[in-house]
Structure 1
Amino acid sequence: MSSKPGILIKQPVSVFSKRLNVNFGSGFTALTKAVVNGLTGNVSNVPENLVEMGAAVGLAKEPGEIAWLLIFRSLIQAMASLVDDNQDLLKKVDNDDIETIVKHRLENCLQNLEATELTIDSNFFAHPEELAIVLAIKEPFRQWLTEFVSTPAQAEAISNRLPTEFVYSLIEEWKKNSDKYTVLQTELNTPFIKASEREQAWQRYSIWLQKQVNERMFSEAFSLEQVYVPLRTYYERKVEIKYDDDFISGLRESYKQDKRNERIVVDLQAELQTWLDEADKNDAIRVISGGPGSGKSSFCKIFAAIQAKIGKISVLFIPLHLFDPEDDLVNGIGKFINDLRDIPLPPNPLVKDNTVEKLLIIFDGLDELAMQGKMGEEVAQKFISEVQRQVNAFNHVQTRLQVLISGRELVIQKNQSDFRKPKQILNVLPYFLDEEEIKDNNYIDNQNLLKQDQRQIWWCKYSQASGRGYDSLPEELDEGHFREITSQPLLNYLIALSLVRGAVKFFDNSNLNEIYADLLTAVYQRIWANDNPVIKGVAEKDFVRILESIAVAAWHGGDVRITTVTEIEKYCDRNILERILNIFKQDKKASLARLLTAFYFRQRGLKGRDDTFEFTHKSFGEYLTARRIVQEIKIINNQLKANEEDSDYGWNKLQALERWAKLCGSTAMDDYIFKFIINEIQLQQDKYQVDIAEWQLTICDLISYMLKNGMPMEKLQLSTFQEANWQARNAEEALLGVLNACARATRNVSQIKWPSPEAFGNCVSRLRGQRVDSHIHSEIFCLNCLSFLDLQNSILQYQDLYEANFKEANLKEANLVGAILEGANLERAFLKGANLKEANLLRANFVRANLEGAILVRANLVGAILKGAFLKGTILIQANLERAFLKGANLLQANLEEAILERAILGEANLERAFLARAFLGEANLGEANLERANLEGAFLEGANLERANLEGANLERAFLKGANFEGANLRGTILEGKI
C-alpha cells in the first residue's frame, strides 16, 4: 500500500476493500439481551460477545480489521447509548422472544447488510456519518426498535439519531483506545489522525455540540433538531419624521422632530451568519432578546451545532447559569472548562497558548445573572462591560473573537444602552403574528417572512416525529388567546402534550397553569404511578410538593433553574422527604437524583462539592415556585382561621409572617413568577371553587399588622442587619404581589388599614428604591401590584410612580401633587377630589376613570387616554392635553381655561357648561361633542373638527375659528360676537 498522503487522501485505501465477515445477527441478539437486562448504560456492561466479537474474526491483525473494530465498537456504543437514553419508552420483552425478534424480523435486512463490501477512504473522519454501513444499519436498528417501543414513530425518531450518535461514539472510542488504532495512522493521512491533542479536543467538542441538538427533547423519542422551526427576528431602526406646525398671529411656531422606530424583520440564522462572515472587529457582539419559551436557547444550540459542523470558526457554548460572571472573562472561561468534566470541552481558547484563529462564544441566558434583584442586575451589567472590554482587546488588530449573548427581554432592556450599534439587538418573533399586530408594531417585512404561519410547520414536524395525526395546527387552538399561546414555541409544545392526553378542555378562557398542571400529572403517571414497582406508593401530592420545594430551593439560590442536593434537603418538607426516601430504600443522594430526573431535570456538574441539577426550562421552575407560594397562602389562611377559633391551634399573625419571610425573603419576586401566581390563584377560584376573597382579607390583615409591627426578621436569625432588611423588603413586596393577584381574581378593592396618610408612600418608596436605569421602559415589579388598592387620602406628593398599575384603585382625595405617573394605568380608578396639580400624566390611561372634581392644574396629559372618563367639575386650568384621547369623556362643568387641547380627540365628549376660555384647540376633533353652553371665549379652534357638535348656547366670543369644520353642528343661540 502506498503511504503517500496525497494519494491516500484522494483515493480509497485498497486494503479496506476486503469483505468483513461479521455476524450482525449475533450483535443484535446480544444488544437485545442487554436491553432486557438493563445493561446498556455503558459498553463495558454490554455482554462481552457483543463488543469483543472482533477476536473471533482476527480484527487485531490487519488495518482493515482494526478499522472494523473501531467502526463496530462505535456503532454498538451508539446504539446502546440511544437505547439507554430511551429506557423509559421501552416495553418489557421476554427472553424467549429475543431470538424470534432478531431472526425473523431482521433476517433479510441483515443478510443484505452482511453481503455488502465496506470501504473507507481519507474522507472517513471528516464525515463518518456518511459511511455506508451507518446508513445501512439504521433500517434494521429501526425495525428492531419497533419491538420495544410503543409506536413506529418512536422507533423512527430514535433510529434517525444514530448517525450523529455514531460520530460522537467514534470520537470517544478513538480517544479511549487510541493505542489499538495506531496502525491506522500509517494507513490514513487525515487531518483527524494527524491533529494535535488540542485540535482533537476541538473536534470532539464540535461533535458534542452537534450531538446536543440530536438528543431527546424532554421525554419524547424525537430530538430538538427534528421539530425545530427556524426563528424570525427584528432589529429596530430609527426613522426621523420632520414636519412644521405653522400657527398664525404669532400664537405658536414650532419645529418638531418626531422619532419612531421601524422594526426590520429578518431570518435570525441568516442575519447572524452574515454577521459572522463579515467579521467586523468593531461590531463583534450580537444580542438575542426574547421572552420565556421564545426559543432563544434552542436557537443558540442549533446555531452552535451548525457552526461546529461548518468548521470555519471555533465555537464555545456557555450556559450562563453555569458560569461565574464576576470573574475576569479569561479566568471565568477557564473555570467553566475545568468544572464541567462531563463535557469534552477544549482547552481555554482565551489563553495565549491555546488560541484559535477565529472564535465564537455563545453566552446563553443573560437573565440568569440578574436573578437576585439589584445585586444581580449589577452583576449582569459588569459582565457585559467585561465582555466588551475583552472583545475590544482580542480584536485590536483583526477579528479574532465574536460574542453572541441571549437573554430575556427585561434584562436586555435594562442594558440596552450598552448595545447601540445597528442590528446589535435581535428580538425574537413568535411563530405567528396577525396583520393588525404587524401594522401596529411598524414591522418592515421586505422578505415577506411574516406571511408564513410557522405554527403550521411545527405541527407538521411534530406529527411526523411523534406519529400523531396532525397535518396542521388543530382548529380549536387557532382561536382566542390560544393564538398567542401557540405562537410561543415552548407553550405551543406544552399545549400539544395536553391535547394528546385529552385531560384539558381547551376553551378561549383556558388557564395556562392548568396546562402546566396537566404536564405535572402526566410525568407522575408515566414515571411515578403505582405500576412502577420501584417507587410504588409515592402519592402524587407528595411528588408535587417535593418538586415545588426543589423549585423554591433553586429560587432561593438566585436562579429558578438550578439547585443542589444540599439546598433541596434544606427546603423540602422533611416528613415528605423521609417518606419518599424510605420508599426508595436508597441513600439520599441516589434517591433525590432519581426524583429530579422525573420532571425535566438533568444533572449539571458540581457546585462546590455538591451535585447540581437544573430544570431543562426555567419556566418549569417558575411555575412550581408560584404553586408553592400560593400553597403557602392557603396554609396561612387555614392556620390563622384555626387560631382565631382557638388560640391553642394554628398560627397567630406573627408566626404567619415569620413563615412567609422564610419562603419569600431570600429572593425578590419578579414578573415571570408573578404571572404564574396570577394564573394559579385564578385557577383555584375558577376550577376548585376556593374563596379567594377570604384569602384577600387575610393578606390585608397581615399587611396591616406588618405595617404596625414590622416583619419579624429576628425570628430568622440572619447574620447581618443588611441581610435582614433586604429579606424583609422582599417578603413585603411578595405579600403585596400575592394580594394583588387575589384582587385581580375577585375584582374587590383591598382594604388595608394604613396607619397614616403617608404610610403607603413610605411603603412604596422602600419597595421601589432608587431607579438606576435610565431606559424608558425600565419596569419596577412592585409598581405593577397597586391595582384594586384602597388608597384614599394617601399622601403621594412627587412620588415616582412611572408606569404604575392603579387599575380600579381608590385614590379618592389622594394628594398626588407633582407625582410622576407617566404611562400609568389608572383605568376605572376612583380619583374623585384627588389633587394632581402639575403631575406628569403623559400617556397615562384613564379609561372610564372617575376624576370628578379632581385638580389637574398645569398637569401634563399629553397623549393621555381619557376615553369615557368622568371629569365633571374637574379643574384642568392650563393643563396640557395635546393629542389626548377624550372620546366619550364627561367634562360637564369642567374648567379647561387656557388648557392645551391641540389635536386632542373629543368626539362624543360631553363639554356642557365647560369653561374653555382661551383654551388651545387647534386641529382638535370635537365631532358630535356636546358643547352646550360651554364657554369658549378666546379659544383657539383653527382647523378643529366640530362636525355635528352641539354648540347650543355656547360662547365663542373672540374665538379663532379659521378652517374649523362646523358641518351639521348645532349653533342655535351661539355667541359668535367678535370672533376672529
Structure 2
Amino acid sequence: MFKGLWQSSWEFLNTNISVGETIQGGVDTTKAVLDLSKAINENKTLPELTPLLGHLSSILDVLNLPIVQLAGSALPFVSIASKLLQVCLDSTREDLSLEDCVELVGQAAYLESLKKFFSDDANKHLLEKLNKAKASDRLQKEISKLSKSLTLTEAEAWTVLLCFHESKLAKGLNPIVLERLVEAGIKEGQAKIIVERIARMTHREIKPALAEIKDKVNKLNAIFGSEWQRELETYYSIDKYLEDFIAKQPSEQVFDDNFDFEDIYVELQVEEISENTSNSQPQFIEEWALGLLNDESKSRQVLFIQGEPARGKSVFCRMFVDRVRRELYPIWIPILIRLRYITNNFADDFDTLLGRAVDQSFATSDNWLRNRNTRFLFVLDGFDELLLEHVRDLNLKNFLDRVSEFQTKCQGNSERGHRVIITGRPFALFGIEDKDMPKNLERVKILDMRAELQEQWLQKWAKLKGTDKAQEFKDFLSNLNCPEQVKTLAKEPMLMYFLAAMHTDGNLKIENFQNAGNSNKILIYEQTLDWVLDKQRSEGRKNLNQALTKLDKEELRYILKEAGLCVVQSGGIFTTLDALKDRLAPNLVTKLKAKANTENEEGRLPVALATFYLKSSDVKDNSMEFLHKSFSEFLCAERFVDSLMEWSQQKPNSSDSHLPVWTVDKKDLEWQIYDLFGFGSLTPEIVEYLAELIKQNFKHHEPEFIRLFERLSKFYSSWSNGTFIEAIDLETEILPFKKARQMQKLDISKIGQRKVDVYTGLNILILLFTLYRYAQTNSELKDEVVFHPCIDTNTDELDSSRLSRIINYSQCYADIDFTAKVGGFMSKVDLRHVELYGVFLGSANLNGVNLSDAYLRGAYLGDTFLNDANLSRADLSRVDLSDGNLERADLSDAEFSCANLSRTNFRHANLSRADLSNVILWESSLCNANLSDADLSDTDLSNADLSGADLSGANLSNANLNNILWDEFTKWSAQGLKQVVNIPNNLSNSLQFRAAVLLCESNELLISGNVENVLTNYKQAQNIDPQLETSVSFYNQLCWFGSLHNRATDVLFACDKAVELEESGVCQDTRGLARALTGNLTGAIEDFEAAINSGELEEEILEKRQRWLEALKSGINPFTHEELEALRASEGATS
C-alpha cells in the first residue's frame, strides 16, 4: 500500500531526496500545480514528474493560498489527481489500492468543489468580502499535518465513495477549510454552511475522476455499473428540476403586469402559535425557517405556517425555495409542491405520494428518499386546499398525522434527513382541536405587514411605477380621511398590490370609501373587477378586453361569475371549459362561437376568461384556474346573490294583472337551489362575502327580502322532510340525482345523489341563518323574519328533534361533519326548545345563540363558543363543555348535573339557580359570574377562579374549593359553607368568609323557629365584616319565617332590605305578611296587589293571596292563629 502518492514517487525511484528539502525552494504553489498539470498532460513519466511533485507536500498546499486566488485560478485538481493515478499505474505496472486512489481523488474532488462554489455566479459576491491574505503560519502547519495523516483504510475509502460528507476525509478537511474561510473574513456561521455545501458537492466530483482507471483497479469496477449511470441521471434530473422550475419561481410574472414577484416581494414576519404566546416576538419568516433548518435539535419538527387569504403564503414559498437553492444546495434540495394539484390516491403511503407529486425522474426509484447524498426540503403549499372537492375524501387531520410521522421517521436517520414546510389557511383546521394536532408542528402565523415592511414595499413600487406615484399612494394611505379598514387591508400583500395598482390608475380615491362601513373588502374586489375589465388592458381610450372578446363589460362579468361558481363547485382550484360552457346562457355561447373566426370549438371563451386573473391549469387538460382563490370565492358569492335577487322577484300574471307570479316558479326554484348549492360545503370566505352582498343588494328592498326568506324557508322545510330525495312520483324529477349526474358528466365531482342532497340542505340552512342574522339588525325586518330550524314553515309546528335528525343524516358520511360544515355559521340563531341529545357540536360558533329550554343532555360542546348565549332552563346534564367559552351567557335555572365544565370560561355569566350539583368545574373561570341560589353541592371547584363571583344563596354543601382563586368582591353569603371541603387557609381566615359562615345555617334555624339565633348571627357577621353583602334570599327567608314565628316586628327590616335589593313579587308577598302582622294593613294590601300582578306566584299560592287581599280590603286581618299554624305546617316549620 502506498503511504501517499507524493511520497511514493521517491520510493519508486529509490532517491534520497526528502519532501522537506524540495519544498525549501519556495516555488509558488499555484505555479507548481499548473506546471504539474502541464507535465501530466504532456504524458511525462513518473520520474519526470518527481521534481514537480517535490515542490508540493501535498495537493492540500493550495489551501495556503488566498481564497480569492484559489477561486479565481484555473487549477484542474480532479484532472491532476486522475492523470497522476494513470501515470503511476503505467509507470509502476503495479495495482494501486482502492484506498490510495480514493485518498488522492477525494482530496482533489473536495478542492474542486471549493473552487466551483466560489466560481459560481450566485456566490461571487462572497469573494468581495474576503481578504487576500495567505493562511496563517499556525494554520499552514495544521494543513501540512493533515496532509500527512489523511490515510484511509479500505472501509473508510468505501465511505468516501458512498457518502463523502460522512467520511473521514470530510471530517478532516471541513474544520481546516472552516478555519481558513474565517481567516479570510467570512463569519463563522456562514462559513459552516459553505463548508457543508462544499462537502456535500464533493460526492459528485469523485466518481468521474476515477472513471478513467476503473478497469485497472479491481475494486473500482464495483462502483461503475448501472447504478452509477442511474446516479448520474438522478443528479441530472435534480439539476434540471432546480434550473427549470425552482430557479424560475421568483421571476414569474405578477398577474398581467410587466414585472415579476421578486420585484415586489418583501419578507414578511411570523409569530409563534403556542399555549403561551405572551413572550413570542415577531420574526422574519425566511430567517425563522432557515434557523429551524440549521438547528439539528429541531430535526423532528415540521415547519407549519398559517396565514389568512392574501397573506403571501404562496409567494413566500416560491421565493424561499429559490433562496434555499441559491444558498443551501446541496445541503438541502428544495422541492415545491402545490397541494392543490395532488389528485392521486391519498391512500398511498406518504413516500409514494411525494414521489407522484414531484413527478420527476429522480423521484421514481423506490429508494429515492433513502439516499445519504440527497436531502430534500419539501415545501407543501396550501394544506387548506386538501379540503377541496377533488380530494373531498381526504381527512386533513389524517394527512397532518402522516406528515408528522414522515418527519419523525426522518429525524436522526442519515438516509432520510429530509424536512417539511407546510402552509395553509387556518380555517381548514376548524374542528381539529389543538390537543389533537400533531405534537411536532412548529406552528407560526403570518402577521400583517407592519409600517416598516409597507415602506419597503413602497420603495419597490417606486422603482416599478415611479417615485411620484408611490409617494401619492403612500399619502393616500396616511390621509386622515382614509378609512381604517382600508389601511388594514393594505397590510395584506395581495390587497396592498391591488390598492396600489388601482390608485396608480386613478381608480382609488378617498371619496370611494366614505360611509362604506364594513363593506371595504367587497368594495376592493368590486373595484378590482371594474378596473380589470375597464382599464387594465387598454390602449388609449380603447378597451382591449371588449375588442378582443367582442363582449360588453356586463357579459364579461357574467362569464367571470359563472367561472367563479364553476371553480368553487369543482373543488375551489380549477374547472374545465366544458363545465363553464354548460352554465353559460345558450345565446352567449352562440355569440362567442360566432365571433371567433377560428375552427377552435371553444371560440372566444378562453379569451374572455383571460380578461381577469385566470390561467390555464396544469392539473387537467382544457381547464383553467384563478391565480388567487379569493377571486373565485368572491365571484361565486356574487353569482349566488344574483340568483337570490331573481328568486325574490315577481312579475304580472298574464291572465290576471292583479295577481303577480314568481319570475322563477317553484319548480325552477327548487332545481336552481340544487344546481347552485348541491356541490359541497360553503367556505367561511364565501359566507362572509354573501352576508355583505345580501346587505348591499337588499337594502331598501325589504319586501323582496321577506319573499326570498319565505321561499327558502319553505324549501328547507320540504328538504328536511325528505321531499326531494324521496320523490317517488314518476313525473317528478329527482333533483339530487339530476345534479349528481350533471357533475359526473362534466367531471366536476363524483359525489352521489344523497351527498348532493345533504350539501344542498346544509348550505340552505347556512344561508337561512345568515339571512336571519341580518334581519335581526334591521328594524323593518326583525319581526317579519323569524327562523327556527325545527319549525316547519309549511305547518308552523315545532319538531324539536328535527335539527338532531339533520345532524345525524349529514354525518352518515364519514367526510361530512356537521360541526365543521355548519358549526361556524350558527351564531345568534334561535334554537329554543331544541332536542340535541348526545350530539357533537365541539368547537362550534354558538355565540349569542338562544338555547333556552333546550334539551342538550349528553351533548359534546367542548371548545364551543357560547359567549352571550341564552341557555336559561336548558338541560345540560352530562354535557361536556370543557374548554368552552360561555362568557356573559345566561345559564339561569339550567340543569348541569354530572356535566364536565373543566376549564370552561363563565366570566360574567348568569348561573343563578342553576343546578351544578356533582359537576366538574376545575380550572373553570367563574370570574364575576352570577351563581346566586345555584346548587353547587358536591361540585369540584378545584383551581377555579371565583374572583368577583356572586354566590349569594348558593348551596355549597360538600363542594371542593381546593386551590381556588377569589378576591374581595366575591360574595360568600351561601348555604352549606360548613360542609365545604379543602377550604384554603387564607380563605377560612378571611373576615368576609367567616361572616358568611355565621349566616349559612340560617335556613335550618329559621324553619325550626330559632329566629333569635339567626338575628344574633346576623349581628355578629355585620360586626366581623361591616361590608358584608347579604343575599336577597337570606333577607327574604328571615322575613318569612320570622313572621311565621311571631317575630314580624323584629324581622321587618329584613323584609324592606329584600324588596330594596330585588323588587320582585316574591319579596313583596313576604313583606305583605309581615306588614299585616305588624298592623300596617295598607302596606300589606299594596304588597299583595303587587305580588298578585307580578305573575311570579304559582296558581295555588295565587288563590290564597287573593283571599287574603279581599279580607284585608274588608278591614279583616286574615292571619289568625289557625292561619299561621297552617302556613307553618305547609313550610315544614315547627311552632
| Range into which the TM-score falls when normalised by the shorter chain | 0.5 to 0.7
SS at match of 2:632: helix
**Using a 3 Å threshold, how does the CA distance of structure 1 residues 773 and 510 change in structure 2: closer, same or farther?**
closer
Amino acid at match of 2:671: E
Question: Residue in 1 aligned with 2:478?
Answer: 474
Alpha-carbon deviations, 1:925-973, whole Å to 9, x = none?
36445667867554466445989999899823499xxxx9987622689
Amino acid at match of 1:714: I
Between 930-939 and 877-886, the greater mean CA deviation after superposition: 930-939
TM-score normalized by the length of structure 1: 0.65
Question: Residue in 2 aligned with 1:745?
Answer: 774
Amino acid at match of 1:493: Y
Of residues 778, 782, 786, the one that matches 2:826 is 786
**Using a 3 Å threshold, how does the CA distance of structure 1 residues 693 and 873 change in structure 2: closer, same or farther?**
farther
Q: Is the 8 A contact 2:917 2:938 kept in 1?
A: yes
**Using a 3 Å threshold, how does the CA distance of structure 1 residues 714 and 479 change in structure 2: closer, same or farther?**
same
Which structure 2 residue ranges, 5 or more long, are not aligned? 1-30, 38-114, 126-231, 726-732, 745-749, 777-781, 793-797, 1004-1021, 1036-1135
Deviation at 1:859, TM superposition (A): 2.9
Amino acid at match of 1:269: E
SS at match of 1:854: coil
Question: Residue in 2 aligned with 1:673?
Answer: 686
Of residues 546, 552, 557, the one that matches 2:570 is 557
Alpha-carbon deviations, 1:494-520, whole Å to 9, x = none?
444455522541666344222212211
SS at match of 1:212: coil
Mapped pair 1:757 → 2:800: yes
Distance in 1 of aligned mates of 2:949 and 2:616 = 63
Question: Residue in 2 aligned with 1:663?
Answer: 676
Distance in 2 of aligned mates of 1:400 and 1:953 = 66
Between 566-575 and 909-918, the greater mean CA deviation after superposition: 909-918
Of residues 388, 394, 398, the one that matches 1:377 is 394
SS at match of 1:428: strand
Q: Is the 8 A contact 1:216 1:222 kept in 2?
A: yes
Distance in 2 of aligned mates of 1:509 and 1:490 = 19
Question: Residue in 2 aligned with 1:13?
Answer: none
Alpha-carbon deviations, 1:625-651, whole Å to 9, x = none?
222223333333336999999697544
**Using a 3 Å threshold, how does the CA distance of structure 1 residues 908 and 652 change in structure 2: closer, same or farther?**
farther
Deviation at 1:402, TM superposition (A): 4.4
Between 298-307 and 655-664, the greater mean CA deviation after superposition: 655-664
TM-score normalized by the length of structure 2: 0.56
Amino acid at match of 2:878: E
Of residues 301, 309, 322, the one that matches 1:305 is 322
Mapped pair 1:317 → 2:336: yes
Q: Is the 8 A contact 1:549 1:568 kept in 2?
A: yes
Q: Is the 8 A contact 2:341 2:619 kept in 1?
A: no
Q: Is the 8 A contact 1:861 1:880 kept in 2?
A: yes
Question: Residue in 1 aligned with 2:249?
Answer: 212
Amino acid at match of 2:497: Y
Question: Residue in 1 aligned with 2:79?
Answer: none
Question: Residue in 2 aligned with 1:143?
Answer: none
Distance in 2 of aligned mates of 1:394 and 1:900 = 43
Amino acid at match of 1:323: I
Deviation at 1:693, TM superposition (A): 5.3
Question: Residue in 2 aligned with 1:158?
Answer: none
Distance in 2 of aligned mates of 1:650 and 1:893 = 58
**Using a 3 Å threshold, how does the CA distance of structure 1 residues 125 and 606 change in structure 2: closer, same or farther?**
farther
**Using a 3 Å threshold, how does the CA distance of structure 1 residues 880 and 421 change in structure 2: closer, same or farther?**
closer
**Using a 3 Å threshold, how does the CA distance of structure 1 residues 308 and 894 change in structure 2: closer, same or farther?**
closer
Q: Is the 8 A contact 1:939 1:956 kept in 2?
A: no
Alpha-carbon deviations, 1:756-777, whole Å to 9, x = none?
2211111123335587999xxx
Deviation at 1:300, TM superposition (A): 1.0
Of residues 436, 439, 442, the one that matches 1:425 is 442
Structure with more contact order per residue of length (Cα contacts < 8 Å, sep ≥ 6): 1
Deviation at 1:728, TM superposition (A): 0.8
Mapped pair 1:624 → 2:632: no
Number of equivalenced pairs:
746
Distance in 1 of aligned mates of 2:761 and 2:653 = 24
Question: Residue in 2 aligned with 1:444?
Answer: none
Alpha-carbon deviations, 1:833-884, whole Å to 9, x = none?
2211222222333344333332223333334344444444333333344454
Alpha-carbon deviations, 1:355-394, whole Å to 9, x = none?
8744444332233332139843248846974896699699
Question: Residue in 2 aligned with 1:956?
Answer: 1000
**Using a 3 Å threshold, how does the CA distance of structure 1 residues 932 and 685 change in structure 2: closer, same or farther?**
farther
Between 647-656 and 227-236, the greater mean CA deviation after superposition: 647-656
Deviation at 1:885, TM superposition (A): 4.2
**Using a 3 Å threshold, how does the CA distance of structure 1 residues 485 and 654 change in structure 2: closer, same or farther?**
same
Q: Is the 8 A contact 2:548 2:607 kept in 1?
A: no
SS at match of 2:915: coil
**Using a 3 Å threshold, how does the CA distance of structure 1 residues 819 and 278 change in structure 2: closer, same or farther?**
closer
SS at match of 2:622: strand
Question: Residue in 2 aligned with 1:202?
Answer: 239
Deviation at 1:730, TM superposition (A): 0.8
Q: Percent identity?
A: 19
**Using a 3 Å threshold, how does the CA distance of structure 1 residues 485 and 797 change in structure 2: closer, same or farther?**
same
Amino acid at match of 1:575: N
**Using a 3 Å threshold, how does the CA distance of structure 1 residues 954 and 535 change in structure 2: closer, same or farther?**
farther
Amino acid at match of 1:522: W
Deviation at 1:475, TM superposition (A): 5.5
Which structure 1 residue ranges, 5 or more long, are not aligned? 11-120, 132-194, 240-259, 339-344, 434-451, 976-980
Amino acid at match of 1:215: E
Mapped pair 1:804 → 2:834: no
SS at match of 2:872: coil
Q: Is the 8 A contact 2:651 2:660 kept in 1?
A: no
Deviation at 1:548, TM superposition (A): 1.7
Distance in 2 of aligned mates of 1:628 and 1:931 = 59
Distance in 1 of aligned mates of 2:992 and 2:524 = 52
Distance in 1 of aligned mates of 2:997 and 2:653 = 67
SS at match of 2:810: helix
Distance in 2 of aligned mates of 1:600 and 1:855 = 55
Distance in 2 of aligned mates of 1:627 and 1:891 = 48
Distance in 2 of aligned mates of 1:457 and 1:347 = 39
Amino acid at match of 1:316: I
Question: Residue in 1 aligned with 2:262?
Answer: 225
Of residues 285, 289, 308, the one that matches 1:291 is 308
Deviation at 1:595, TM superposition (A): 1.9
Amino acid at match of 1:512: K
Deviation at 1:302, TM superposition (A): 0.3
Deviation at 1:430, TM superposition (A): 0.8
Amino acid at match of 2:587: N
SS at match of 1:613: strand
Of residues 611, 626, 640, the one that matches 2:622 is 611
Q: Is the 8 A contact 2:596 2:603 kept in 1?
A: no
Distance in 2 of aligned mates of 1:381 and 1:762 = 27
Larger radius of gyration: 2
Alignment of 1:769-848 (within 5 A): 780-848=820-888
> What is the root-mean-square deviation in Å for CA atoms of aligned residues?
5.1
Of residues 483, 489, 493, the one that matches 1:489 is 493
SS at match of 2:422: strand
Mapped pair 1:703 → 2:716: yes
**Using a 3 Å threshold, how does the CA distance of structure 1 residues 654 and 901 change in structure 2: closer, same or farther?**
farther
SS at match of 1:425: strand
Distance in 1 of aligned mates of 2:244 and 2:366 = 22
SS at match of 1:318: strand
Question: Residue in 2 aligned with 1:502?
Answer: 508
Alpha-carbon deviations, 1:269-292, whole Å to 9, x = none?
234334555689964864433332
Distance in 1 of aligned mates of 2:706 and 2:447 = 36
Alignment of 1:565-576 (within 5 A): 565-576=577-588
Q: Is the 8 A contact 2:650 2:661 kept in 1?
A: no
Deviation at 1:726, TM superposition (A): 0.9
Question: Residue in 1 aligned with 2:555?
Answer: 542
Q: Is the 8 A contact 2:975 2:1001 kept in 1?
A: no
Amino acid at match of 2:253: R
Deviation at 1:893, TM superposition (A): 3.7
SS at match of 1:662: helix
**Using a 3 Å threshold, how does the CA distance of structure 1 residues 521 and 231 change in structure 2: closer, same or farther?**
same
SS at match of 2:999: coil
Q: Is the 8 A contact 2:339 2:386 kept in 1?
A: yes
Question: Residue in 2 aligned with 1:874?
Answer: 914
